[in-house]
Amino acid sequence: MSSRSIDPALLGRFAAIVGPGHALTDPAEVAPFVSERRGLWLGRTPLVLRPGDVGEVSRILALATETRTPIVPQGGNTGLVGGQIPGPQGTEIVLSLSRLNRIREIDPLSNTVTAEAGVVLQTLQEAADAADRLFPLSLGAQGSCQIGGNLSSNAGGTGVLAYGNARELCLGVEVVLPTGEVLDDLRKLRKDNTGYDLKDLFVGAEGTLGVITAAVLKLFPKPKGREVAWVAVPSPSAALALFSHALDRAGSGLTAFELVADIVVNFAVRHVPGVVRALEAPSPWYVLVEVSSGRSPEDARDLIEQILGEGLQQQWVTDAVVAASLAQAVAFWRLREALSDSQKPEGASIKHDVAVPVAMIPAFIEEAARAVASVAPTARVVCFGHMGDGNLHYNVSQPVGAPSAEFLALYPLMNKAVHDVVRAMNGSISAEHGIGRLKRDELIATAPPIAIDLMRRVKAAFDPAGIMNPGKVI
């Protein structure tokens, strides 16, 4: 099936569904859909379809199942595991959801927004804000990633600690099944125990079970006060003690707790324009702490000052600066968000996106450093992430001045060494970014066979012709 090129007459039948101008075949127009920003994945496709409504998506998938033509759904193309990129054979059609970009309804009393898959995350955040509500999903790619992609990858980001990941923010979905049938489950219910939770199967499925065309998402009251601090801590265990204390004091008002190693602050200041250090004196580790209050700005201020004051007393904190203005708060977040992009100029990087129980973070950091050193003693550990969620971006940059190719040849060995530490702690080898093509083989090789078997049975039940994003996840 997927080794045969698609018959031109069949391509014409697909193109006719979306009409002229929305079926792209010109290589220059197709190029942005078959590569991604880091240049890690490059695919081929004879056709990119840009349907304008749910009916067109339905006709495309029905034809795909009838003719056994593989389909790769794509949102904002910011995924980090290659899930949205077609394979190299040129036998899969890319289905872009970006024209399904209407916000269908904001319901401030039910605290919900109903949005189509192609709505850009930042557009949704701004629409919620204009309705005096908060949509809390927040991540570095928010200017281009889309709601359908966020749900399909069950995106996390910096708001998970207080508000949950994309799955927890989703109340209902509208999905086109591979047969072309439409599952309309766009309900706004906070409670609904009527059988299996089908929507949760599509969330995080990375486009392997069907195409999400719209969703009902939760909105929240906008905080009345918000304070952000950049805090120097001597060690990951001090950060953990501070986290536990801050959570105790602020409860659900602790809206971010991000751990950052000094080396990656230096990378960001060196390579990302406009990024400045938040604290002049270096410290081995920092945390970005955000506290929100539903009551008042003064309340948030008092809370963060109390937390940091007690942290200083206990010597979990060695120095701290609370943002004195909105501009400074934005600058602290800018520094945090620049970390992902700051690594490439330092050469090759071997990435890990791991989760362990929060209490195990200090032990993980210690043991993983030993594991890295056993593979490449002079490589540089670049560790940062969502400490409050137990999720670290544990990356390893090549030794200074060494040949990149030589270092990249260590990718499988390095992954195994770090992931063995994760597995020994009952952790996850993909906390945020999913499986896609990047981690498919490792998932299949290391997950319990019964789990893989169940996933395959679910896949076969939803997609018997195997047309949805083949070669991804399982």
* Near ligand FAD by CB under 6 A: residue from 139, 265, 291, 360: 139
Out of Zn ion, ligand FAD, none, what residue 207 binds, judged by CB under 5 to 8 A for its kind, is ligand FAD
* Near ligand FAD by CB under 6 A: residue from 90, 140, 234, 471: 140
How many CB atoms lie under 10 A from the CB of residue 144? Answer: 15
Judged by CB under 6 A, the stretch of 23-31, 137-145, 279-287, 295-303 that binds ligand FAD is 137-145
Question: 103, 147 in Cβ contact below 8 A?
Answer: no
Q: Is 73 in the site for ligand FAD (CB under 6 A)?
A: yes
Q: What is the largest CA-CA distance in the chain?
A: 74
Question: 187, 172 in Cβ contact below 8 A?
Answer: yes
Judged by CB under 5 A, the stretch of 5-13, 177-185, 249-257, 426-434 that binds Zn ion is 426-434
Q: Which residues, listed in sequence order, are joined to residue 173 by a DSSP beta bridge?
A: 185, 215
Q: Is 146 in the site for ligand FAD (CB under 6 A)?
A: yes
Among candidate residues 445, 425, 424, the one with its CA nearest the CA of residue 435: 445
Q: Is 390 in the site for ligand FAD (CB under 6 A)?
A: no
Instruction: Retrieve residue 171's tokens.
Output: 């109340």
**What is the C-alpha separation between 288 and 257, in angstroms, rounded?**
6
Out of ligand FAD, Zn ion, none, what residue 83 binds, judged by CB under 5 to 8 A for its kind, is ligand FAD
Q: Which residues, listed in sequence order, are joined to residue 287 by a DSSP beta bridge?
A: 231, 259
Amino acid present at 280 = E
Closer of 264 and 417 to ligand FAD (Cβ): 264
* Near ligand FAD by CB under 6 A: residue from 106, 145, 170, 331: 145
Subset of 98-117 contacting ligand FAD (CB under 6 A): 117
Q: Is 388 in the site for ligand FAD (CB under 6 A)?
A: no
Subset of 430-469 contacting ligand FAD (CB under 6 A): 432-433, 436, 469
Q: Categorise residue 135: left if φ over 0, alpha if ψ from -120 to 50, beta otherwise.
A: beta
Amino acid present at 114 = T
* Near ligand FAD by CB under 6 A: residue from 150, 292, 342, 349: 150
Out of Zn ion, ligand FAD, none, what residue 146 binds, judged by CB under 5 to 8 A for its kind, is ligand FAD
Q: Is 258 in the site for ligand FAD (CB under 6 A)?
A: no
Q: Is 206 in the site for ligand FAD (CB under 6 A)?
A: yes
Amino acid present at 7 = D
Helix, strand, coil share of the chain (percent; to 5): 40, 20, 40
* Strand ranges in 369-442 using DSSP code E only, listed in sequence order: 380-386, 391-397
* Exposure b/e, 38-71, CB count within 10 A at least 16 = b: eeebebbbbbbbbbeebebbbbbbbbbbeeebbb
Q: Is 343 in the site for ligand FAD (CB under 6 A)?
A: no
Q: Is 141 in the site for ligand FAD (CB under 6 A)?
A: yes
Judged by CB under 6 A, the stretch of 150-158, 226-234, 303-311, 449-457 that binds ligand FAD is 150-158
**What is the C-alpha separation between 27 and 34, in angstroms, rounded?**
10
Tell me which residues touch Zn ion (CB under 5 A): 432
Tell me which residues touch ligand FAD (CB under 6 A): 72-80, 83-84, 97, 117, 139-141, 145-146, 148-150, 152-153, 155-157, 206-207, 211-212, 340, 432-433, 436, 469, 472
